Amino acid sequence: MPVISNHMPTAELQALDAAHHMHPFTAGGELAAKGARVITRAEGVWLTDSDGNRILDGMAGLWCVNIGYGRHELADVAARQMRELPYYNTFFQTTHVPAIALADKLAELAPGDLNNVFFAGSGSEANDTNLRMVRTYWALKGKPEKSIIISRKNAYHGSSVGSGSLGGMSGMHAQGGMPIPGIAHINQPNWWAEGGDMSPEDFGLARARELEEAIDRLGEKKVAAFIAEPIQGAGGVIVPPDSYWPEIQRICDEREILLIADEVICGFGRTGNWFGSHTVGWRPHIMTIAKGLSSGYQPIGGSIVCDEVASVIAGAEFNHGYTYSGHPVAAAVALENLRILEEEKVVDHVLDVAAPYLWEKWQTLTDHPMVGEARMVGLMGSLALTPDKAARAPFAAEAGTVGYLCRERCFANNLVMRHVGDRMIIAPPLVITPDEIDILIERAWKALDEGMAAAKEQGLFQPAPRA
């Protein structure tokens, strides 16, 4: 067995990868035929692959590398923590300094009385915690029948059985017996695809009122909580009409249910504020955090919980926890990441510099013949691809066929931009500069051109017949 290293030829690494490595959210056969792209190092917003290409990472890894790659401070903190205390748990009345300090910091950053943190190893785990915590809360309040959680179609809340069930991804629900019982899904506020002849404002109100209708249909005394991402990320960066969130908040104010904001993507500066619920004007009882919490340098997630829920949960033993809840190395790295975000005013950079500049340039992509709408909040943006802008028509081909062609052309042009169905999405590191944004836009335009040419060549530039 040779030593597997960055110095191996790409083809050999790809063959070894195909032989033994099972990839998440990937069709294995397709990947094996083509070979995975091997990323070897990264700095700032730039990835380097095993052939020496420099790739602009328009997705911040998986929406997580908020401070950018290559920050040695985080490596130093991790090494120091590993030498001092590499591991200890937080079960059974023990604790350690990194978990104390991180919880303390998060309580300071989070709004209102969100002062209590339950740690997890990931966003999926944190949402599993939330699922059990809200049900346990109502049970301890003498209302065990309040157990249904309302979520939204096309939401992404993670990949475990619990969090995947909370999510509303039909492709996931088709595999492995999901969703579990006790979860209801309402429609998403996706005006472009589903708004028909309604104005965006009316459509936003109508979609928000589905929450009210669902609570009435299920019975308020049976509903424990509503969970939502402030801006749906993996669902395609669906930015709701302006009327949506105020109406959701009105309904929530009138009903006795708990609100869970899944801030895994929106948190830690992505939307131009520390948390996305601030940006959309929503006051949750629990926030799910992960990803940008450590900028992806270590796997860590958690739930930030309001005083009322935390005090009720503290009234009994909550039989729940993960071996790595509050892992000292992950917690220390997250804390250092938050220090950098704060001291270098990265969130201000998003709000004042990067987001306005990217939005100015991003909108120009609607001049492209295949781009129907461009949306953006902070540094998360999307483009709707269409063969007929005026009709907001989807393609006749299966959703995602043309999006995939465009994603391939992005990769070929050394830009990481993802597709969700036929929406192209970006979420670059928060430290991206105007010069880098210019490069991103230039490459995106070229990839759209090439994607459209490929679609035309394959006879795919055709609108679906109107229903």
Question: How many residues bind to ligand PLP according to rule CB under 6 A?
Answer: 16
Q: Are 178 and 254 in contact (CB under 8 A)?
A: no
Give me the phi and psi of 272, to 5 degrees please: 95, -5
- Nearest to ligand PLP of 243, 298 (CB atom): 298
Q: What are the structure tokens assigned to 43, written together?
A: 């700095």
Backbone angles phi, psi at 373, to 5 degrees: -140, 150
Maximal C-alpha separation, the chain: 65
Judged by CB under 6 A, the chain residues 271 through 290 that form the site for ligand PLP are 290
Touching ligand PLP, residues 144-163 (CB under 6 A): 156-158
3-state DSSP helix/strand/coil percent for the chain, to nearest 5? 45, 15, 40
Q: How far is the CB of 196 from ligand PLP (least distance, A)?
A: 27
Provide the minimum distance between the beta carbon of 125 and ligand PLP in the complex, in angstroms, as a whole number: 7
| Structure-derived torsion over alpha carbons of residues 25, 27, 30, 32, reported in degrees to the nearest 10 | 80
The alpha-helical segments, DSSP class H, found in 85-151 are 97-109, 123-140
Amino acid in the structure at residue 351 = L
Residue among 67, 261, 265, 309 that touches ligand PLP (CB under 6 A): 265
Residue 188 or 413: the one with the smaller Cβ distance to ligand PLP is 188
C-beta neighbour count of 220 within 10 angstroms: 12
Please say which residue, 158 or 204, places its beta carbon nearer to ligand PLP.
158
With tokens 């104390």, the residue in question is 100
Between helix 355-364 and helix 434-457 the angle, nearest 10°, is: 30
Q: Which of residues 63-122 bind ligand PLP (CB under 6 A)?
A: 122
Which of 117, 193, 264, 304 is close enough to bind ligand PLP by CB under 6 A? Answer: 264
Contact 361, 442 (CB under 8 A): no
Contacts with ligand PLP in 423-462 (CB under 6 A)?
Answer: none
Q: Using CB under 6 A, which of 204, 233, 267, 451 touches ligand PLP?
A: 233
Would you say 157 or 327 has its CB closer to ligand PLP? 157
**229 touches ligand PLP by CB under 6 A:** yes
Contact 141, 132 (CB under 8 A): no
138, 98 contact by CB (below 8 A): no
Q: Quick one: which of 124, 190, 243, 382 contacts ligand PLP (CB under 6 A)?
A: 124
- Cβ of residue 331: shortest distance to ligand PLP, in angstroms? 15
Q: Which is nearer to ligand PLP, 62 or 393 (CB)?
A: 62
**Binding residue for ligand PLP (CB under 6 A) from 230, 301, 421, 429?**
301
Toward ligand PLP, which CB reaches closer, 115 or 159?
159
> Is the distance from CB of 205 to CB of 244 less than 8 angstroms?
yes
Binding site for ligand PLP (CB under 6 A): 122-124, 127, 156-158, 229, 233-234, 262, 264-265, 290-291, 301
